[in-house]
Amino acid sequence: MKLKLDNLFLSFKRPKVIKETMKKIETVVRSALRDQVVSAIKKEGVGGITIWHTQGQGAADPPLVGQYFSRENIVTIVPDSKVDVILDAIAQVACTGEKGDGKVFVTNVEQALDICTKQKGESAI
Which positions touch Mg ion (CB under 5 A)? Answer: 58, 60-61, 99-100
Residue with Cβ nearer ligand ATP (15 or 63): 63
Residue 32 contacts ligand ATP per CB under 6 A: no
- The candidate with the shortest Cα–Cα distance to 56, out of 85, 27, 22, 82, is 27
Residue 61 contacts ligand ATP per CB under 6 A: yes
Residue 60 contacts ligand ATP per CB under 6 A: yes
Kindly state the number of chain residues that form the binding site for ligand ATP, as judged by CB under 6 A: 15
3-state secondary structure of 64: coil
Q: Who contacts 104 (Cβ-Cβ below 8 Å, separation ≥6)?
A: 25, 26, 27, 28, 87, 90, 91
User: What residue ranges bind ligand ATP (CB under 6 A)?
Assistant: 28, 54, 56-61, 69, 71, 99-103
